[in-house]
Amino acid sequence: MAVLNKIRQRSLFLILIIALALFSFVLADLFKNSDALTAKSQNIVATINGKDITREDFLQKVEAAQRQMGPNVTNTQVMNRVWDQEVRQAVMETQFEELGITVEKDQMRDLLRTSLATSPEFLNEAGLFDENKLNEYIANLKETSPAGYESWVNYEKQVAANALQQNYFNLVKAGLTGTLAEGELEHKLEGNKVDIKFVQVSYSSIPDSTVTVSKSDISKYINDNKKKYEVEASRDIRFVEFKEVASVEDENAIKAELETYVNGRFVDETGRKDTIVAFSKVKNNEDYINLIAASDIKFNKRFVFKSGLPAAVADSIYNLNEGEIYGPYKENGYFKISKLIAVKQIPDSAKVRHILIPFRGAQSAGPEVVQTEVEAKNTADSLLTILKSNRSRFTEFVTDYSSDQGSIANEGRYDWHSYNTMVPEFNDFEFEGKTGDLGVVKTVFGFHIIEVEGQKNKKKAVQVGTIARKIEPSEATSDKVFRDASNFEIDAGKGDFEALAKENKYTIRPVNGIKVLDESIPGVGNQRPIVRWTFEEEAKGGDIKRFNIPGGYVIAQLVAKHKEGIMSVEDATASVLPIIRKEKKAKIIRDRVSVSTLEDLAAAENTTVRTATNVNMKNPTISGAGREPLVVGSAFGLNEGETSKLIDGANGVYMIQVTKVTPAVELDNYQAAANRVEQQKSSTVNSKLYNALKEAADIEDNRAKTQVQ
């Protein structure tokens, strides 16, 4: 009891002790992970000119962009595109806000009117843009399709952003005029010319091996030019790749299986009941290929000309009789057997015109497309009915209804084009019908009203059925590759990575200068997991890790971690060495000659005096010597007949003498030249303004910390 009483008496003291202990634990964890002191590390992808881009918003835009760009682009490529868009938007918005530039409601309506002026959904009976139809469309979208409405809002934002940017660029251009003085200078830079005599002592006349460049020379040059040699944090690795590749035994097994379909398999004396009819005997080729043989490449019923067959086997397949088999043969990573199913005569080219009626959700349909699939079909059928009795209205309907911007200017026409150029349904209509055919065909783009205007050069085309097996390693081969990779990973962790690789005759591939947001590893493609690993705080030089890659494994070793800052002497040597070597060669040449005339210099250096005419400042090139801005500039600083001292040029050391000075023709007015200057400035705005604003912006990039890449 006495002890309990003492505890009760000191309860406040104990509570304080426990609280302090908990606080110290939390504080220690915060200091251990300093990013936890601010939510930015995990929730803010970037801060640009004080504006935050949140992780949630960024990833939503990435997801939308991924859907739009399709499966053929990597996640990192999509993220980089969204990143560039977000940075541009934030940088430009800073400028818009500082200047007070906005897009008001009336201006937005004008922009939409211009943007949608040719969309038939928003035109009245007179063919003019009808704002009421646009309002009705937006209201309907808002009520019936949240996703569609969101897409429309994003479309409006993009239209507004483009307009704001154009306004901003125009404001900048308005302040960049070409004055008459600038025009006169431009005219003189082009028109003032000199003729010169010169002697060039080429740097190549001194062997590189005779010029010593030390590490301290390179280090001093780097320190004197720090801006040029600033580098991001980077990593160096080396790796060994273990590929899961089919063995000779694996390939023979695949060919043996295909032979079964060539010859067929029947019930034998053991009573086996897995009968397989020979490929040449079947009538339903599509089911046989896709279901019974379970081909890795599905049946394609389209006819092809000889040129459409694999080049190595084209003659062998094209010359088969109907029902005959060719193979097994190896082609593009597969073993195949092919059967010539049918032969027909098909034009090799056709000429058509069409009207495309898209529907909501069709491929390439923009947010302005409002018709459902049923409505689009009804529209196409209605137009077809009219055209069947009056084809002269085809051009009119193309202008009023077609959404195919690539053909509208040509009255909906696609001139002579080859077989299989168009999507399958379109292609079948224009090549398997006849000239004059008119009908409606549905494709992924919508409903096409097609008229076949011409066909020519009918020739033999073949329908080929192919059973294909991808050449892949067997389970036994894959198991062996896994064991080899695992053993190397374990042994390399205990010993010398390089020595072990050489002992086992594995190829070591070094990769240097990996940046934190890189995606690709040369030789193995998109491998963000490897890049992420090299930048983990826990990863240290010498660490080894195995990574699964498509078709095998990579055993990687982290060789070095380079901090952000100034490039090391070793890394800079390749670019700095030639510069310093050239400077030292120039000094050697200067020190070994003491002459005052071109002839003496030519004699001393066993070379000749050469001439160059019509040299000008606009294009500072010397005939026979190359581009030499400093030498040409020096020439224009000399009087006629005057000789220069030695000049260190880009390609050698020079001495020049001006033999003739030809001033530019005096003009009464330099406005034309001033206009050219203004045009040059305007072009510079288009190409360099945004990059200059971006460079000046305060951009805090947290993508690596937030692990969105």
**CATH code, 516:** 3.10.50
The answer as to whether 377 is a domain residue is: yes
Q: Name residue 389's amino acid.
A: S
Q: Contact 320/326 with Cβ under 8 angstroms?
A: yes
Q: Contact 529/546 with Cβ under 8 angstroms?
A: no
User: In the prediction, which pLDDT does 55 show?
Assistant: 87
Question: What is the rounded distance in angstroms from the CA atom of residue 438 to the CA atom of residue 452?
Answer: 7
Report the C-alpha dihedral over residues 467, 470, 476, 482, rounded to 10 degrees.
Answer: -170
The answer as to whether 432 is a domain residue is: yes
Predicted confidence (pLDDT) per residue in 615-651, tens digit:
999 999 999 999 999 999 999 999 999 999 999 999 9
Shared domain for 550 and 578, answered yes or no, is no
359: Cβ contacts below 8 Å, ≥ 6 apart: 365, 369, 371, 372, 373, 375, 376, 377, 446, 447
Three-state DSSP at 264 gives coil
User: In the prediction, which pLDDT does 650 show?
Assistant: 95
The answer as to whether 213 is a domain residue is: yes
Question: What is the rounded distance in angstroms from the CA atom of residue 64 to the CA atom of residue 2?
Answer: 70
Shared domain for 23 and 85, answered yes or no, is no
The number of residues in the chain equals 709
DSSP 78-130: HHHHHHHHHHHHHHHHHHHHHHT----HHHHHHHHHHHTTT-GGGB-TTS-B-
Q: What share of the chain is helix, strand, coil (3-state, %, to 5)?
A: 50, 25, 30
The conformation of residue 233, written as its DSSP 8-state character, comes to -
End residue of a domain, out of 517, 541, 563: 563
DSSP 560-589: EEE-SEEPPHHHHHHHHHHHHHHHHHHHHH
Q: Contact 167/101 with Cβ under 8 angstroms?
A: yes
Determine the average pLDDT of the residues in 384-395. Answer: 93
Shared domain for 342 and 432, answered yes or no, is yes
CATH of the domain at 394: 3.10.50.40
Task: Using the structure block, give the residue that is written with the tokens 């301290």.
Answer: 216
Question: What is the rounded distance in angstroms from the CA atom of residue 78 to the CA atom of residue 63?
Answer: 9
The answer as to whether 416 is a domain residue is: yes
User: In the prediction, which pLDDT does 64 show?
Assistant: 80
Three-state DSSP at 252 gives helix
Shared domain for 208 and 338, answered yes or no, is no
Q: How many CB atoms lie within 10 A of CB 629?
A: 13
Long-range contacts at 699-702 (CB < 8 A, ≥ 24 apart): 699/46, 699/47, 699/48, 699/49, 699/87, 700/46, 700/47, 700/48, 701/46, 702/40, 702/41, 702/44, 702/45, 702/46, 702/47
User: In the prediction, which pLDDT does 3 show?
Assistant: 37
Question: What is the rounded distance in angstroms from the CA atom of residue 27 to the CA atom of residue 56?
Answer: 28
146: Cβ contacts below 8 Å, ≥ 6 apart: none
Q: Name residue 326's amino acid.
A: Y
Residue 240 has pLDDT above 60, yes or no: yes
Residue 30 has pLDDT above 50, yes or no: no
Q: Which helix (H) or strand (E) holds 221?
A: helix 215-224
Closest CA to 597 of 642, 636, 639: 642
Predicted confidence (pLDDT) per residue in 267-278, tens digit:
666 666 678 899
For β-strands 610-615 and 234-243, DSSP reports them as unpaired
Question: What is the rounded distance in angstroms from the CA atom of residue 706 to the CA atom of residue 80?
Answer: 15
Shared domain for 381 and 496, answered yes or no, is no
Predicted confidence (pLDDT) per residue in 282-292, tens digit:
999 999 999 99
End residue of a domain, out of 456, 472, 488: 472
For residue 106, give its domain range: 44-174+699-706
User: In the prediction, which pLDDT does 38 show?
Assistant: 46
Closest CA to 359 of 350, 372, 368, 348: 372
Q: Contact 94/49 with Cβ under 8 angstroms?
A: yes
Angle (CA) 167-170-171 rounded to 5° is 85
Task: Using the structure block, give the residue that is written with the tokens 């504006």.
Answer: 51
Shared domain for 165 and 52, answered yes or no, is yes
Determine the average pLDDT of the residues in 258-263. Answer: 93
Predicted confidence (pLDDT) per residue in 507-521, tens digit:
999 999 999 888 889
Residue 118 has pLDDT above 80, yes or no: no
User: In the prediction, which pLDDT does 514 show?
Assistant: 93
Shared domain for 427 and 341, answered yes or no, is yes
The answer as to whether 671 is a domain residue is: no
User: In the prediction, which pLDDT does 29 show?
Assistant: 45
User: In the prediction, which pLDDT does 58 show?
Assistant: 87
Report the C-alpha dihedral over residues 157, 161, 167, 173, rounded to 10 degrees.
Answer: -170
Question: What is the rounded distance in angstroms from the CA atom of residue 682 to the CA atom of residue 687?
Answer: 9
Task: Using the structure block, give the residue that is written with the tokens 């006819």.
Answer: 303
The mean pLDDT value of the chain amounts to 88
Determine the average pLDDT of the residues in 228-243. Answer: 94
Report the C-alpha dihedral over residues 155, 156, 159, 164, rounded to 10 degrees.
Answer: -140
Number of domains in the chain: 5
Shared domain for 199 and 332, answered yes or no, is no
Predicted confidence (pLDDT) per residue in 439-496, tens digit:
999 999 999 999 999 999 999 999 999 999 999 999 999 999 999 999 999 999 998 9
Question: What is the rounded distance in angstroms from the CA atom of residue 87 to the CA atom of residue 700?
Answer: 10
The answer as to whether 684 is a domain residue is: no
Residue 4 has pLDDT above 50, yes or no: no
The answer as to whether 180 is a domain residue is: no
The answer as to whether 685 is a domain residue is: no
Determine the average pLDDT of the residues in 386-394. Answer: 93
Shared domain for 15 and 86, answered yes or no, is no
End residue of a domain, out of 563, 598, 619: 563
Determine the average pLDDT of the residues in 149-178. Answer: 88
Question: What is the rounded distance in angstroms from the CA atom of residue 154 to the CA atom of residue 141?
Answer: 13
Shared domain for 156 and 59, answered yes or no, is yes
Q: At what angle do helices 55-69 and 75-99 cross, to 10 degrees?
A: 120
Shared domain for 271 and 218, answered yes or no, is no
CATH of the domain at 85: 1.10.4030
Shared domain for 106 and 53, answered yes or no, is yes
Q: Contact 140/369 with Cβ under 8 angstroms?
A: no
Model confidence at 2, pLDDT cuts 50, 70, 90, reads very low
Task: Using the structure block, give the residue that is written with the tokens 């251990």.
Answer: 32
